[in-house]
Structure 1
Amino acid sequence: MQDAQQVTVNGRTVDFAALSWGPDDAPLALLLHGYPDSPHSWRGVAESLVEAGYRVVAPWTRGYAPSSVPTDGSFHIGALASDALELHGLLGGDARAVLIGHDWGAVAAHAVAGLDGQPFRRIVTMAVPPAAAFLDRADGMRAWLARLARQARLSWYVAFQQLPVVSERSLGALVPRLWSTWSPGHPAGAELEAAWEAIGDRRTEVLRYYRHAARWWTVPAQYRSAQRGLMRASTVPMLYLHGRQDGCVLRDWTGPTRDVLPPGSRVEVVSGAGHFLQVEQPDVVARLVVDFVVAG
């Protein structure tokens, strides 16, 4: 496969830089990265998608360099979901298009999935389950509370990153720590370097993903509808992937995820992988993704 091309896609409030693989006339696969990450982590998955007949586009999401800082200043979930919808149109996506998201990209994809009339045929999410899974109490209140308590201990960084100045100054040490604890045993190299390059001069912007999520009442009017999709059931079949050794989000949420996804969906746990499963086990993840999107 040829090396990725870096392209620019000019949106309403963001000029997106993106990596692109495959012919322009092929069906679109839009891949959204998470935190702390960049589109470079999709390379292994992109190759298999191109071989399966897709055009793959993986943008640096709003605020990550070299994409621009959004002119509306919003980093809310609704804005991220709206970006995915806008990119579908700007890239010439049609009814064959698929959406794939990891971490924050998964959060955006879950919000898109809940919207009536959204344009993606199938959606794949990784490492962050749908919001409804966190509310599912099918195995009892005690088990649910225990899961929440364990997850809260893993998610300490969310509260820390609400702190202005202090959290910005800490990122040089925190980003490598998160990679090492979220994907234990994985020797993060080029992907971590690419993530830091995208974050380095945009620390406040990247942290606003967490800060704006905690201030849901500040969602701009134009993004409220898209944000409401996060709490709705997926309108299309979804593949959810989770690393068995994930040190960020408990593997225990995969059971509740099975309970809340629509018919035709699948949930798979990837052995030998932590949170950055598409980097750690690219061949396994690519096979699962391609099998799911092609079968549909």
Structure 2
Amino acid sequence: MHKSFELQPGARPLVRGVGSQASADGAGVRIQRVAGFDSPDFSPFLMLDEIRSENADDYIAGFPPHPHRGIETLTYMLNGEFEHQDHLGNRGAVASGGAQWMRAGRGIIHSEMPSQAPGGMHGFQLWINMAAANKMDKPSWRDIQSTEIPELALDGGEGASEGSLIRLIAGEWTIGGEEKHAPLTDAAAEAAVADIRLGAGAEVLMPLPETHSVLVYVYSGALVTERGTIGRGNMLLYGAGESLQLRAHTEGAGLLCLHGLPLREPVAHYGPFVMNSREEIEQALRDYNNGTLTD
């Protein structure tokens, strides 16, 4: 019998869960998507796509050249490889365990093409909103290889299983009472991203900034919460508090944990462009059609 879940003092309550939806993007890449463009609870995050397939036909066509303005993207691979190219001349590949970050700012045109690696493809792309004051900043990009990402043991205390760990991809975290920095620390809105893997029945309590939104995506196994057991493919949104309490079910859990500063600004979204007004979206479309998006 699994013991009941009791929320610790100061821990953030689970407000709601949002299930991912089957979709397709790029040149027909099959994905599971969680979109939060219209939800203040998601801010500063906008959308998470999960690519998960052992069938190359589901993803091999990739994402041919396309534009963006007003956002940042963070791609993280559990398995497989993607290569990035953009109009600035940047080119680089990221393989299993690595990440790529891109700031579109004023405008970037890029492609993301997968390799047909053994074992299929399993990865994520997160869209992060940029503050209105920064949406027209100069674009930039970087690779973060797997060897650059700190991988730390998590002390889950009583009842925790061996093998629980956290991989710090972006932002700042407090682990074991110590401040830890991920390799990417200049993401918009203080956005922080970590891959957490909990052993069977493991429980952790992690301090997080009280001013930040907190979201957790379950990509494997299941979490036990005060609202019941929640399996993979679900994004969980948490309320106010000073810490995040996570407990894996008997099969363990793989999670993407996100926290960031809510922007509290209007969001206007059309395809690859995210701005603050319909007029700015129309301007982005004119700039792209006129060939001046990246000027």
Instruction: Name the TM-score, length of structure 2 as normaliser.
Output: 0.28
Higher share in helix: 1
Higher share in strand: 2
Instruction: Name the TM-score, length of structure 1 as normaliser.
Output: 0.28
